[in-house]
């Protein structure tokens, strides 16, 4: 569950509430940041220019330096990291310092080079937002593969820590940023991030509708990607395919989107809840309706597009195997349950897409796979948990529906050439056998088969499935446990397995969950 303020908790269940939505759309060339290399005219010792293209757009803090009239002893500054220290976002800082009028002599130059052509709808330069420092005069020059100038812009009088150049830039091979003047005297030039494109923020007036689907499978029988669908106002025709000055030519699969849903707390104050990190998959300009529609999915969808090569692991922990898979897939933002480091296996994973391969390991680790709202990929054993909040009749449209899953009383687990069978101890002798079979290449011992069988049977015995159509609370996440009010006063604890959010000026949705006992 996402942590929220007490004011939010009151506002989200208020009989009369107002909700808002925001979409951050990173319309960037998706390969440019990984293809880019840089050179600079000068660099101070603690500078980390290799961070210029990592898509982290804020420094880790306000760094204390001895630049004239800069360091304040107010507790807001921290010492800059040493060159070898990791975990700090710094970006590029020049060793040269500008003069009394802010002019650099010579000018400080950042050159971005690429090995192949890239195209974007612009360029975004983030200076130092933490300390409110920025260049007031600079030049942007863009070159093609033949060193010909595609576009040049000389900026004067800038007052922004994040400068956005909106300009169609096609097939560029080099971008040169020349800083000639800083806004404050006696400062180093500093750039935190360069994005090859622009980041657009869409709010209520531009969002026609938005829907979000997030789910987990508590048994890892399947791993699904969370999905974001939305429709934007396209009256300006920026998403029309034939508009030469529009956005459409620069839309690419895997462009990043972040969605937020908010609740108005009173007046103009809104508390926004992150709803996930998604990557563009499909888009369409709805000509007649003057709208544009988009579909995006989380990292788990991208993992279906790469292939894991068959590999045999001998006496390796599940943590080791997952780290190997993530490295091959290029996934760097992940979290693996510590319990998987104590499960050692021997087996062969066959060739498959990365998502299916991760699912195989997760099942062997009695874990679930999902991306959280920050975009981190989790492989995690779900802990037993009591409800931390509830859904009451005041917030539902209809009394929750309760269904009963099929009875399963026997689990069979293949290990090596053998078969382990676990029968529910509470099964009556005359009850017909209803079984499921688990065949996982990483389960090769009786002890491991016994553990997996017990876990599977315990989950399958949680047969009550709840479906709740209600006003929705964006702070609830799949995997959370909550109490669901019913007319019999049972108020059962239910683990959320599926969430559907629908926003069209107001918020509603559907929550599906499985009883925890």
pTM: 0.91
Q: Provide the pLDDT for residue 287.
A: 67
Which residues contact residue 289 at a Cβ distance below 8 angstroms, ignoring those fewer than 6 apart? none
- The model's pLDDT over 89-105, given as tens digits with 9 standing for 90+, comes to 999 999 999 999 999 99
Nearest CA to 59 out of 91, 95, 92, 85 is that of 91
Which residues contact residue 68 at a Cβ distance below 8 angstroms, ignoring those fewer than 6 apart? 185, 186
Q: Of how many residues is the chain composed?
A: 517
β-partners of residue 418 are 415
For residue 181, count other CB atoms closer than 10 A to its CB.
Answer: 19
Give CATH for domain 303-380: 3.55.50.30
8 A C-beta contact, residue 131 and residue 69:
no
- The model's pLDDT over 162-201, given as tens digits with 9 standing for 90+, comes to 999 999 999 999 999 999 999 999 999 999 999 999 999 9
Q: Provide the pLDDT for residue 229.
A: 97
**Treating both helix axes as pointing N-terminal to C-terminal, what angle do 354-364 and 446-460 enclose, rounded to 10 degrees?**
100
Residue with tokens 């106002």: 233
| String of DSSP letters for 428-464 | -TTSPP-EEEEE-TT--SHHHHHHHHHHHHHHHT--E
Distance CA(367)–CA(351), nearest Å, equals: 21
Q: What tokens appear for 320 in the block?
A: 């080791």
Which 8-state DSSP code applies to residue 235?
T
Say if 6-27+201-300 and 30-195 have the same CATH topology.
no
- The model's pLDDT over 28-56, given as tens digits with 9 standing for 90+, comes to 999 999 999 999 999 999 999 999 999 99
Q: Provide the pLDDT for residue 290.
A: 86
Q: What tokens appear for 514 in the block?
A: 């499985």
Q: Where are the domains of the chain?
A: 6-27+201-300, 30-195, 303-380, 390-515
For residue 342, count other CB atoms closer than 10 A to its CB.
Answer: 10
Rg (CA), the chain: 27
Helix (H, G, I), strand (E, B) or coil at 243: coil
8 A C-beta contact, residue 60 and residue 287:
no
Q: What tokens appear for 96 in the block?
A: 């040269």
Q: Which CATH class is domain 30-195?
A: mainly beta
Q: Which helix (H) or strand (E) holds 357?
A: helix 354-364
Q: Provide the pLDDT for residue 74.
A: 79
Give CATH for domain 6-27+201-300: 2.40.10
User: Low-confidence residues of the chain, pLDDT below 50?
Assistant: none
For residue 385, count other CB atoms closer than 10 A to its CB.
Answer: 12
Q: Provide the pLDDT for residue 356.
A: 97
């Amino acid at each position: 569950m996402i942590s929220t303020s007490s004011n939010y908790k009151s506002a989200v269940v208020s009989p009369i509430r107002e909700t808002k939505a925001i979409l951050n759309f990173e319309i960037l060339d998706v390969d440019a940041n990984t293809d880019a290399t840089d050179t600079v005219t000068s660099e101070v010792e603690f500078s980390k220019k290799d961070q210029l293209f990592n898509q982290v757009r804020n420094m880790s803090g306000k760094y204390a330096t001895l630049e004239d009239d800069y360091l304040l002893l107010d507790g807001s500054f921290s010492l800059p990291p040493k060159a070898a220290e990791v975990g700090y976002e710094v970006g590029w800082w020049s060793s040269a310092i500008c003069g009394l009028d802010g002019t650099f002599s010579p000018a400080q130059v950042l050159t971005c080079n690429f090995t192949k052509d890239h195209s974007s709808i612009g360029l975004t330069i983030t200076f130092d937002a933490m300390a409110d420092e920025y260049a007031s005069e600079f030049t942007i020059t863009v070159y093609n593969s033949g060193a010909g100038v595609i576009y040049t812009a000389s900026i004067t009088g800038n007052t922004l820590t994040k400068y956005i150049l909106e300009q169609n830039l096609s097939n560029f091979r080099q971008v040169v940023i020349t800083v000639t003047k800083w806004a404050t005297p006696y400062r180093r030039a500093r750039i935190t991030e360069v994005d090859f494109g622009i980041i657009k923020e869409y709010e209520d007036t531009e969002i026609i509708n938005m829907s979000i689907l997030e789910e987990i499978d508590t048994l890892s029988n399947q791993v699904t990607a969370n999905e974001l669908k939305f429709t934007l106002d396209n009256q300006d025709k920026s998403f029309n395919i034939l508009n030469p000055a529009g956005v459409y030519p620069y839309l690419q699969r895997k462009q990043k989107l972040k969605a937020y849903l908010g609740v108005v707390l009173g007046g103009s104050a809104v508390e926004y809840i992150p709803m996930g990190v998604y990557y563009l998959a499909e888009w369409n300009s709805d000509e007649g309706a003057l709208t544009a529609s988009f579909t995006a999915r989380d990292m788990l969808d991208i993992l279906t597009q790469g292939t894991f090569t068959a590999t045999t692991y001998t006496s390796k922990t599940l943590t080791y195997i997952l780290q190997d898979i993530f490295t091959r897939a290029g996934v760097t933002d992940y979290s693996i349950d510590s319990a998987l480091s104590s499960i050692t296996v021997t087996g062969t994973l066959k060739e498959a897409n990365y998502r299916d391969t991760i699912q195989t390991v997760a099942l062997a680790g009695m874990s679930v796979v999902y991306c959280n709202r920050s975009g981190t990929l989790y492989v995690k054993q779900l802990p037993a948990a009591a409800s931390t909040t509830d859904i009451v009749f005041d917030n539902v449209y209809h009394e929750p529906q309760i269904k009963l899953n099929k009875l399963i009383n026997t689990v069979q687990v293949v290990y090596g050439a053998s078969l382990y069978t676990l029968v529910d101890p509470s099964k009556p002798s005359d009850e017909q056998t209803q079984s499921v079979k688990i065949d996982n290449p990483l389960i090769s011992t009786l002890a491991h088969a016994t553990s997996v069988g017990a876990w599977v049977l315990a989950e399958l015995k949680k047969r009550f499935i709840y479906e709740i159509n209600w006003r929705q609370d964006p702070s609830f996440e799949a995997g959370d446990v909550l109490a669901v009010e019913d007319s019999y006063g049972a108020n059962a604890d239910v683990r959320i397995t599926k969430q559907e959010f629908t926003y069209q000026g107001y918020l509603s949705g559907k929550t599906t969950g499985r009883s925890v006992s």
